[in-house]
Amino acid sequence: MLRRLLGFRFRNKTAPTLSAAVRCLSSGSVDITVPLNFWAGRRRSSQESREKENVYEPATGRVLCHLEPCGGEEVDQAVKAAKSAFGPWSKMSGMERARIMIEAAHLIEVRREEIAEMEVVNNGKSITEARLDVDSARLCIEYYAGLASTLAGQHVQLPGGSFAYTRREPLGVCVGIGAWNYPFQIAAWKSAPALACGNSMVFKPSPVTPVTAVLLAEIYAKAGVPEGLFNVVQGGQETGSLLCYHPDVNKVSFTGSVPTGQKIMEMASKGVKPVTLELGGKSPLIIFKDSDLENAVKGALMANFLSQGQVCSNGTRVYVQKDVLAEFVEEVVKRTQAIAIGDPLLESTRMGALVSRPHLDKVLSFVEQAKKEGATVLCGGERFVPSDPKLKSGYYMTPCVLSDCTDDMTCVRDEIFGPVMSVLSFETEQEVLQRANNTTMGLAAGVFTRSVSERYQENRRRILKAGSCFINNYNITPVEVPFGGFKMSGIGRENGQVTVEFYSQLKTVFVEMGDVDSLF
């Protein structure tokens, strides 16, 4: 089943049985040969003569497959398919849509392991994390299936027996543009609320991680959505621009960097199209002296080293009150050095490979710049070569903890997007809150303290300027809770009930029960 659905072949001469393929997928064993574009109900090859792009397996550095970017003709076909499917889907009741979405969630649950394995092969994160990402995708679809039948408006009584009411209506064809750090999860996070509200979608994954979004398209199709409801087009900047400018696209939702988000917002503005932008962050994590230090250390590790540090909400500016700085740093360094790095498909691995060679080089250059600016490397920050020969060309590095950092250093100001923790000290609460908010971004923030009620009251007056604030935990993202940023970290929200508002439009209807009162 895995070979048929994913279209890969094993590199060794004797392929294992089908059941063994599911159990024994290993790094360096997979070639993907089937098309990764999908519209109007099936996978599609590019019809235009375009140069194919290499897609790499981060764990080994070898070529995994070749990407066929979509041009204008393919984008137009995908959008037309989505527009065609929008009609029947938008006319279904919420309960009808919910039944199909629940079936899609069930199929994801059944195929959890194979999806997670392919996510690892294409992205480089550990299999343990990939399983959780697949679970999050499933839960998101289940959650919005539950909301699909609750979409309702408001009734307003007017004088003379007349009345008005509002109703939520779908937007039409929505575009989702994903990032490479959570390929399958982001595809679900964007499509689930869109579909629940009655929209259709064309989704463009990152060209670095194109493999698993098409699996979601096949799952939706098998679950029974109208042909063309969820489509996948591959490509980079050109393909994204074609989608944003397309006259039949009614909304764009993007996850990625601030500069790209700004360009997408500008392109969408030409058609006055609503956008959801989930952009970068440089989030603060504040450790007060009264915190439970064991939990604070674990929180700091979760805030910096999930997915090899490639998480937009990471709390990479770790402010520690001077009274506990030495103890905190000692324990953080000890546990960071103990993180198991290596083959991401092994159960024992806790840190896999970064997503690409250029990105690895960029992250390592941040460490070098930090040293030049006066930061001290307490551990890590170096290229790592696993003992397994087939992994020698993979994109690995040792997780890094920097001390003696100051607010004006590049490592503290700029988003590194890698396993690099910058530790800073502070003395007073007023001081640290001011420093924590001194950034153009505001995706997340965290606080560790035992004085929860006291700090909560304080935060009501001197609020941390971030879209998601964690108290005594970090980087938890239940799908029932909205996720998004303040300032340059984005516009709109993903997950939670409020996201329905970003995938629908409000219509007001007036009903006159008497005669028209005219001035003419």
Residues designated as active site: 278
Contacts of 128 (CB under 8 A, 6+ apart): 347, 349, 350
Q: Are 242 and 73 in contact (CB under 8 A)?
A: no
Residue with token string 């996948």: 232
How do beta strands 163-170 and 275-278 pair?
Answer: unpaired
Residue with token string 């030409």: 270
Residue with token string 């279904």: 92
- 3-class SS letters over 437-453: CCCCEECEEEEECCCHH
The helix (run of H) or strand (run of E) holding residue 411 is helix 410-413
Read off the amino acid at residue 285.
L
Indicate the SS3 state at residue 82: helix
Contacts of 263 (CB under 8 A, 6+ apart): none
User: DSSP readout, 7-58?
Assistant: TEEESSSSPPPHHHHHH---TT-EEE-S--EEETTEEE---S----EEEE-T
Q: Determine the Cα–Cα distance for residues 445 and 462; give it in Å rounded to an integer.
A: 13
Read off the amino acid at residue 487.
K
Q: Residue 487 burial (CB < 10 Å; 0-12/13-18/19+)?
A: middle
At 179, list the tokens: 């990032």
At 300, list the tokens: 């700091």
Q: CA 308, 312, 314: angle at the middle one, nearest 5?
A: 65
Residue with token string 């048929």: 4
> What is the four-CA torsion angle of 6, 11, 15, 20, rounded to 10 degrees?
-60
Contacts of 352 (CB under 8 A, 6+ apart): 58, 59, 120, 124, 125, 126, 308, 341, 342, 343, 344, 396
- 3-class SS letters over 255-301: ECCHHHHHHHHHHHHCCCCCEEEECCCCCEEEECCCCCHHHHHHHHH
Indicate the SS3 state at residue 343: coil
Contacts of 207 (CB under 8 A, 6+ apart): 53, 55, 67, 69, 234, 235, 236
The total number of residues shown for the chain amounts to 520
